[in-house]
Structure 1
Amino acid sequence: MVGEIRLVLSADEILAHPHFGTARDIYIREMLELHENQPTENRLLIDGGTASIFFSVIIMNAGYQPHVRSTWPTMQLLKSQMETHGIASGRRTHDIVRRLIDLGYITTFTTQRDRRSTLLAPTDKMLAHDQRSLIVYFHPLHALFPHPGYPEPMRRDRAFHRVAREVSIAFLAHAQQFIRANPVITFFLPRQAGHMILTKLMHLCGDEDDHGVPKVSFVRIGDSFGVSRTHVRKLLREAESFGFVRLSGDSVAVTPACRSGFARFLADTMAGNDLVYRLAMAKLASTAVAGTQSAGPALADLSSSTA
């Protein structure tokens, strides 16, 4: 629950770090490298609803316990989560899952405990994409705090990936809270390709002052993320009405309010991922200790039987 989240590293500390600008640039570069100018199936994943469903399927599967029915990653559970958080309707969730199945990101299976229930699971393709996405979020942290750093996600450690996604379920409500408190992200995130368009704008003119007006190709931005020039222009006109950008022909100025909102979102995300890392590493360590302890008697029995 939100009240149970106790961050070790705060967003304010991250924002105050003298090299936060470098971390921001790394995040932007990694995000664009992952999503910009990608095939159509990858563009699907930058849609806000699809990204949330993608992420939730991985988390649900990581926490799946066959003997605990409430953890079963069913379509109904996923629909309930999406509707509860106001991310997508049940029908839209179903349609997105079918699309992800067709593209090879999700598979279905049944359990011997109830063969009438169809469960969802990420494919290797989906897990590989998610491991790459972890680098997007941990590379900025690794740059700010390299000692001891965050080596496990940076090298795509599979054990860390699974445990990190398992503990991430506790952060969903927390993430929704800081997103709702951020007007910039609340505006861009739900719109088709909105977050990526914002990220691209930050790449193009995030360091400009309020009077900087670099020229932006709406066609090129649209092509990069699989949306039309009209969609990009309409989105930016709406953003202008909220005071996030200023348009002048083909030129765009990102306002201080927009840059501040983007920075705050990144810092909030980094603070949350820092805690996810700490919890995941603690869980991996405790699992290793438990495994060593349980192996002790077995090794003793093996030794006595071979003596």
Structure 2
Amino acid sequence: MPIASGQFILTSQALTALRAHPSFAEAMRVSAQSLIALHRRNRVMSWILSDRTLALIGHSVIYLSLDQRADDTQSGLTSSRFRNFCTSNRLCSAGRASAILAFLRLTGHIEAIAHPSDRRVTQLRPSEKLMEIARARLERQFEAIRLIRPDIEPAIAALGDPDFETVMFHNLGTWFVSGSRLLDRAPGIRLFAERDVGMLILYSLMLAGEADDRPVPMKPVPISISALAKQFQVSRTHVLRLLRDAETAGLLTRGGDKAETVTISPDLAEDMENLQAGLFQLLATCAADALAAMPERPIPARLAV
């Protein structure tokens, strides 16, 4: 089911099958833990975009850089193409796109290069610094996915291989520009996804459940607003507002004498499982496609990130 041909469809049957896997709960937990562990707070960028959009930006930069043709100086990653990509795919405004690009260049995540056919034309490309961040995220997710899809385990070692990464990141970008979104199958998640560290807070609530209450706990879980604010380096007001808005939307219920517990609603739990199953299905399909496209040769072991 190659992404490149546009045949990838996230069906309800596929999500149901993944959620029914006996290791799905463990995979979901591993995925959530890895995203929290990889969190790196950057206050400058958090003023511009949410964490979710920042992750999408990184993949977009890589995707655009792969679309470079030697006979076309307008191909590849350029400032204008990046702005157009961000606006046409509703990632952010053109002004914010320019600010993001400038910041990425300043911090060494993007570097300038001369176009191969015309050295007077300056283009951009993701630096190894940005590539290692993208690889680290994929590696952790592959670690979770292999619990339910053992066939994609070789993708972990393949990270860093140009043949694998070219297809992998191209497929992810192609799927994204098709207009498909994981949140379409999980509308209740949108409130969290659009807030700074909102998804990390939601994952923290999920991980706070009891061992026998998985994948998403249905029983009340303890919560400390101060602890969450400190862990993710945001204000207590930010965390409290998110929880209050989610409660108003019927996504969770706060309980206890001092509102020290949270109960996730069945609808939100359903959306969380659908979102995770969709992510697993997407990444597994892209990885399997990329592995199949690799030349038959030994895959060099890559040092863990």
TM-score (norm 1): 0.81
1:53 aligns with 2:57: yes
Task: Give the partner amino acid of 2:155.
Answer: E
Q: Judging changes above 3 Å, is the alpha-carbon distance between structure 1 residues 84 and 66 closer, same or farther for their aligned structure 2 residues?
A: same
Work out the CA distance in 2 between the residues paired with 1:52 and 1:117.
27
Mean CA deviation greater in 169-178 or 186-195: 169-178
Q: Is the 8 A contact 2:185 2:271 kept in 1?
A: no
2:181 partner SS:
helix
Looking at structure 2, the residues matched to 87 and 174 of structure 1 have their Cα atoms a distance apart, in angstroms, of: 14
2:7 pairs with 5, 8, 30, which one? 5
Indicate whether 1:184 and 2:188 are aligned. Answer: yes
Describe how 1:30-69 pairs up with structure 2 within 5 A: 30-35=34-39, 38=40, 40=42, 47-69=51-73
Aligned to 1:158: 161
User: Which residue in the other structure is 2:220 paired with?
Assistant: 213
Matched, 1:196 2:182: no
Measured in 2, the distance between the counterparts of 1:128 and 1:42 equals 21
Contact persistence 1:184–1:258 (CA under 8 A): yes
Change in Cα spacing, 1:64 to 1:202, as seen in structure 2 (3 Å) is farther
Whole-Å Cα distance in 1 between the matches of residues 66 and 72 of structure 2? 13
Equivalent residue, structure 2, for 1:281: 291
Query: How far does residue 197 in structure 1 lie from its aligned partner after superposition?
Result: 1.7
> 3-state DSSP class of the match of 1:83?
helix
- For 2:117 and 2:158, the matched residues in 1 are separated by 37
- C-alpha distance in 1 between matches for 2:232 and 2:45: 6
Asked whether 1:223 is paired with 2:223, we answer no
Q: Summarize the Cα distance change of 1:228–1:250 in structure 2 as closer, same or farther, 3 Å threshold.
A: same
* 1:23 aligned onto 2:33: no
Which protein shows a greater Rg? 1
5+ residue gaps, structure 2, are: 298-305
- Tell me how far 1:71 sits from its aligned partner: 3.3
The alpha-carbon deviation at position 156 of structure 1 amounts to 3.3
More helix by proportion, 1 or 2? 1
Q: Percent of pairs identical after alignment?
A: 22
Q: Distance in 2 between matches of 1:79 and 1:252?
A: 40
* CA spacing shift, 1:124–1:15, aligned 2, 3 Å: same
Q: Which residue of 1 aligns with 2:76?
A: 72
CA contact (8 A) 1:57 1:120 kept: no
- Gaps of at least 5 residues in structure 1 are 289-307
Q: 1:121 aligns with which of 119, 125, 141?
A: 125
- Aligned-residue Cα RMSD (Å) equals 2.9
Figure out how many residues of one structure are paired with residues of the other and give that number.
Answer: 283
Match of 1:241 in 2: 248
CA distance in 1, matches of 2:249, 2:82: 33
Q: Which residue of 2 aligns with 1:259?
A: 269
Q: Secondary structure at the match of 1:285?
A: coil
Deviation at 1:209, TM superposition (A): 5.1
Tell me the SS of whatever aligns to 2:80.
helix
Q: In 2 relative to 1, CA 154–174 (structure 1 residues): closer, same or farther, beyond 3 Å?
A: farther
Structure 1 CA distance for aligned equivalents of residues 45 and 28 of structure 2: 22
Does residue 1:84 correspond to 2:68, yes or no?
A: no
